Chains A and B, each alone.
Chain A
Amino acid sequence: MLKVENINVSYGSVKILWDVNFHIDEGEIITIIGPNGAGKTTIVKTLLGLIRSTAGTIKFYGDPIHQAPTHQIVKSGIALVPEGRELFPRMTIMENLQMGAYTSDEREDTLKWVFNLFPLLEERQKQSAGTLSGGEQQMLAIARGLMSRPKLLILDEPSLGLAPIMVNTVFEIVKTLNSQGVTVLLVEQNIHHALEASNRGYVLETGRITLEGASNELLDNNHVKEAYLGM
């Protein structure tokens, strides 16, 4: 469904991504893992058109999207739950969800689905988003991402800054969503969890994809074990 070919990205004269290639098939959970500063968030922002690539192509269902403006990419069926949640703090939970559905027509049904996944949000729908705890904010950020009924949901560091029990909850939700037919791209520094939750993974190091493969194989890979899992 998504095919990224030879993407290169620079900030000014500093090159961040070098010939990045990966693809996502419908129904998969894919993860891109790597250390801080490897360029993971840059990949995500490039997918959504927030940063422009200097070379390479991105195709979504065969259509090139690397030149498209962000709002059109979102409309075509990609939703990003950004790093740091990026909620609208002075809007209520309900208003945040309504913003998530800005491009969508089937609001009522989606709202029921999302409230079913996150009952807490229904109870507190009139509460302002800025007053939620970190874990609750992450739930709202994911729920808001789902409101556009995305075909591909991208989660950038969803476990960052969460208590261990919330981290487990987040990965459980990812699996639940996937079982309901949502394709997921998970970008994570929490490598162990990310590989356990996903089908396939790519390892990104200093702007290059250095390893790829089935997630259970990557978990057994010596380089991954030594560099990231501390074994």
Chain B
Amino acid sequence: MAEITTLIQIFIWGLTAGCIYVLMAVGLNMIFGVMKVVNFAHGEIMMLGAFTSFWVYYYTGLNPYFILFISMILVGVFGVIIERYGFRKVLGTGKLNEIFLSLGLIYILQNAAVKLWTDDIRKINSPFSSATLDIGILNITYDRLIAIAFTALILICLYLFLTRTDVGRALRATSQNHEAAMLMGVNVNHMYMLSFGIGAALAAAAGTVAGILSPFNPYMGTLPGIMAFVVIIIGGLGSIPGAIIAGLMLGLVQNFTIFYFGGAWKEAVAFALLIIVLIIRPTGLFGEEH
């Protein structure tokens, strides 16, 4: 029986890791869909989210799960500023300019974070950090369950926004057909800012959840930033359902791989999965063929 409880434990670990990937990938995908910009610095925005939460926690001592929302707003505004005064300026001047802008941002944000917060290892302390849900011999920390619940909540809010409001629909329309959206009277510049703001806010949520679950430093975003790309390519560029399923899948596959084959295979298996999906279905699981 111990075997089954272990498997459930790994399943929950995989799911929480997957939630962080999902929050990252959905935002990255939205930015790509609306602006066709590839933001390599998305992991660094996640890191900023973790440090913003850490900072607010340090000065206020509020519940970190409440701070998560403050961090989403602050980092979301930061995302809007990056779009307006960074990416917007080079939009349409060539893909390389956009790529180097986002690559440059990685190091600017990392260095700024080291300057502001040093590269010591930090942790956001949750009031539930030692509380566990015990079912028989199975015990799961509340923090992991809250992480899953918050991810679900955020995704439901995003879904309702995208399908039930005019602005949300306009965001989807812009991502499906840029020029047609303009012809409907949509100001696409506003959509650019909005997509970047939402993407950054989701990354901040991912960073905060990651910072509650495990210690971090200014380089915490590098790997999740790359994994978010793996997720959106597996799920299909531009597809939000694809990003959700692929994100959870990657989290689960990685954690079961660690259990059965050891931690050394954790990153390799992600790319193996990517290559297999691309060979079988080059557009990704839910990608549209054009």
A, B co-complexed: yes
A119 within 8 A of B: no
**Shortest Cβ gap from B114 to chain A (Å):** 41
- Bound CA–CA A50/B179 (angstroms): 8
Are A99 and B288 in touch, CB under 8 angstroms? no
A220 within 8 A of B: no
Are A103 and B183 in touch, CB under 8 angstroms? no
Contact check: which of B173, B185, B186 meets A91 at CB < 8 Å? B173
Are B180 and A71 in touch, CB under 8 angstroms? no
Contact check: which of A74, A86, A88, A95 meets B185 at CB < 8 Å? A74
Are A87 and B180 in touch, CB under 8 angstroms? yes
Q: Which residue of A lies closest to B190 (CB)?
A: A71
Are A82 and B186 in touch, CB under 8 angstroms? no
**Shortest Cβ gap from B32 to chain A (Å):** 15
- Bound CA–CA A98/B172 (angstroms): 12
Known: A69-B187, A98-B169. A82 touches B176 (CB 8 A): no
Residue of A48, A82, A88, A98 with most partner-chain B CB within 10 A: A88
A100 within 8 A of B: yes
How many A-B Cβ pairs are below 8 Å?
65
Contact check: which of B169, B172, B179 meets A86 at CB < 8 Å? B179
**Chain B contact residues: helix, strand, loop or mixed:** helix
Q: Which residue of A lies closest to B166 (CB)?
A: A102
Are B172 and A88 in touch, CB under 8 angstroms? yes
B181 within 8 A of A: yes
Known: A91-B169, A95-B169. A102 touches B177 (CB 8 A): no
Are A148 and B180 in touch, CB under 8 angstroms? no
Chain B residues with CB below 8 A from A50, complex form: 179, 182-183
B184 within 8 A of A: yes
Which chain B residues (177-223) contact chain A, with CB distance < 8 Å? 177, 179-188
Are A71 and B187 in touch, CB under 8 angstroms? yes
Chain B residues with CB below 8 A from A71, complex form: 182, 185-188
Are B170 and A99 in touch, CB under 8 angstroms? yes
Contact check: which of B173, B179, B185, B288 meets A82 at CB < 8 Å? B179
A70 within 8 A of B: yes
Are A99 and B173 in touch, CB under 8 angstroms? yes
Known: A70-B182, A71-B182, A102-B185. A90 touches B176 (CB 8 A): yes
Q: Which residue of A lies closest to B172 (CB)?
A: A91
Which 8 residue pairs across A and B have the least CB separation, nearest first? Answer: A103-B185, A74-B185, A86-B180, A70-B182, A88-B176, A71-B187, A102-B184, A71-B185
